[in-house]
Amino acid sequence: MPRFKAVRGTKDILPEEWPYWYYVERAIRKVTRLYGYEQIATPILEETGLYVRGVGQGTDIVDKEMYTFEDRGGRSLTLRPEFTAGIMRAYLEHGMHVRPKPVRLYSVGPIFRYERPEAGRYRQHTQFNVEAIGEQDAALDFEVISLALQFFEELGFSKYRLQLNSTGCPKCRPNYVSVLVDYYRDKRDVICDDCKRRLERNPLRVLDCKAEQCQPVIAGAPNIRDHLCDDCRAHFDQLLQYLNNAGIEYDINPRLVRGLDYYTKTVFEVWVQGIGSQNALCGGGRYDGLIEELGGPPTPGIGFGSGIERLVLTLQEQGIDVPPAPKPDVLLIHLGTEAKAQAVRLVSELRHRDVPALVTYGQKSLRTQLRDANRAGVQVAVIIGEEELRNEAVQLKWLDKGVQETLPREEAVQKLVELFTLKDA
Ligand code: HAM
């Protein structure tokens, strides 16, 4: 038994899984380029206060899920539990408001949340995160949602649905929250204990409770759409119009309330069938008050995050083929000490000429080395034995075709370079 294991809720990504990750990364590069988003990387460590203020006290993330610790200098730091607050911190810190608006940014990196691990839910996951900052226009909501959907299309997904809602703004939401709390007042006996707590700490969250006993209560709850202010209603209607014009299907889901406090107006998720209960491929929305909350000037914004582990699970679940990992093309095989020195020199020359090549180590029989070549999946074994050494030649054994030829060393190298020089590295 090994002495150590990966920490609960974290996972290793072994070489076999990387082709899926490369495939997702390719799609990220493509859509961000199509939509004009530039990359930004922020540190994994931030001051704890950033999230307490940004994501909000009373949210599950801040109350229960952050990896928070004191560093050796006595500062309270937190491993980022989401991207948005840190990116807005960077936006302010670097005076990015002077850039043409909207400022379009994306990031990819690890996120940490102390959640109950299950399929598709980890304590460390990797997010592709998109933010568009500095513009109120509902057409920007349309852009960000379109980017998410085009990303999933690019990945080849089927069976996903856009879920949409508006959670109002500080002008209209408090009124809705009090209507909701009123509605729940005489239902306390029938709802779950979590919802009783939610009604105290974060009432909107009762709407996405999964407990059986709460479902009939939620079904009868007042709909936030009936309580939006004119501004929020007009914004939502405008967004629906853009989506309708584009023929994009959506479900208006009055129970979609999201777990972070900064959202205003539009919230959305994309759900997929088949990967279990953790079915949100992405989640996001508008956060028109967040930058102000962090001490900046009033600045609207909208974005989303998408967990790459879930995307990979979905690719596997939907049986989507991804390009296989490239294998080295050439293996150098040698018989005897002098031949080995020659092989070690040749493999180095090939690599410097951009040909992916391997050499065997130790002193092994021809048979063993040929078996190694087959296992490595190379196309050609370059064999150097005593005779080849004497004639300054090498033998090329084409493993897939089962043919072999002997060529002068330089000619062989030239042939390998012509055939196998890396084109995409
Ligand atoms: P979120 O909904 O908390 O939003 O996370 C976004 C996405 O990250 C989820 O839809 C899911 O795909 C993935 N995800 C979240 N938690 C886990 C987990 N424990 N394991 C695996 N995947 C997970 C946010 O984080 C917002 N900051 C998104 C945003 C950006 N809103 C505006 N801008």
Ligand 1 center–CA 341 separation, angstroms: 53
Record the tokens describing residue 421, joined without a space.
């020089």
Atom of ligand 1 nearest to the CA of 258: 2
* pLDDT of 303: 98
**Which are the contacts of 373, defined by CB distance < 8 A and separation ≥ 6?**
331, 333, 381, 397, 399
Rounded CA gap, 308 and 37, in Å? 18
Record the tokens describing residue 258, joined without a space.
């999201």
Has residue 425 got a pLDDT over 80? no
Rounded CA gap, 176 and 264, in Å? 13
Average pLDDT of span 155-184: 96
- Residue in 291, 290, 288 with CA at minimum distance from that of residue 300: 288
Probe residue for ligand 1, chosen from 304, 308, 315 as the CB with the greatest number of ligand atoms within 8 Å: 304
Has residue 405 got a pLDDT over 90? yes
Record the tokens describing residue 16, joined without a space.
């076999």
Q: CB–CB of 78/67 below 8 Å?
A: yes
Ligand 1 center–CA 130 separation, angstroms: 11
Assign 3-state DSSP to the chain and report helix, strand, coil percentages, each to 5.
40, 20, 35
Q: Decide: helix, strand or coil at residue 403.
A: strand
**Phi and psi at residue 29, in whole multiples of 5°?**
-60, -40
Confirm or reject: Cβ of 83 under 6 Å from ligand 1. Answer: yes
**Which are the contacts of 363, defined by CB distance < 8 A and separation ≥ 6?**
337, 340
Pick the residue whose CA is nearest to atom 33 on ligand 1.
Answer: 303
Rounded CA gap, 125 and 183, in Å? 37
Confirm or reject: Cβ of 307 under 6 Å from ligand 1. Answer: yes
Rounded CA gap, 305 and 303, in Å? 7
Confirm or reject: Cβ of 125 under 6 Å from ligand 1. Answer: yes
Rounded CA gap, 401 and 378, in Å? 12
Report the percentage of the chain scoring pLDDT > 70. Answer: 100
Rounded CA gap, 156 and 320, in Å? 7
pTM for the structure as a whole: 0.95
Average pLDDT of span 399-417: 96
Rounded CA gap, 269 and 9, in Å? 23
* pLDDT of 398: 97
Confirm or reject: Cβ of 84 under 6 Å from ligand 1. Answer: yes
CB atoms within 10 A of CB 48: 17
Rounded CA gap, 89 and 64, in Å? 22
Tell me the pLDDT tens digit for each residue of 283-341.
Answer: 999 999 999 999 999 999 999 999 999 999 999 999 999 999 999 999 999 999 999 99
Average pLDDT of span 26-41: 98
* pLDDT of 424: 75
Average pLDDT of span 37-41: 98
Rounded CA gap, 268 and 202, in Å? 19
Has residue 423 got a pLDDT over 90? no
Has residue 281 got a pLDDT over 90? yes
Average pLDDT of span 360-369: 97
* pLDDT of 318: 97
Going along the chain from its start, the domains and CATH numbers come out as: 15-172+228-317 (3.30.930.10), 330-420 (3.40.50.800)
Residue 1 — very low, low, confident or very high, per pLDDT cuts 50/70/90? confident
Q: CB–CB of 178/286 below 8 Å?
A: no
Ligand 1 center–CA 283 separation, angstroms: 6
Average pLDDT of span 50-75: 96
Tokens 């002008």 belong to which residue? 171
* pLDDT of 275: 87
Tell me the pLDDT tens digit for each residue of 65-121.
Answer: 999 999 999 999 999 999 999 999 999 999 999 999 999 999 999 999 999 999 999
CA atoms within 13 A on the CB side of 132: 26
Tell me the pLDDT tens digit for each residue of 201-228.
Answer: 899 999 999 999 999 999 999 999 999 9
Average pLDDT of span 189-195: 94
Looking only at the bridges linking them, the beta strands covering 160-166 and 251-252 are parallel
Eight-state DSSP code of residue 7: P
Rounded CA gap, 344 and 386, in Å? 15
- Residue in 124, 83, 154 with CA at minimum distance from that of residue 301: 83
Cis before residue 102, ω within 30 degrees of 0? yes
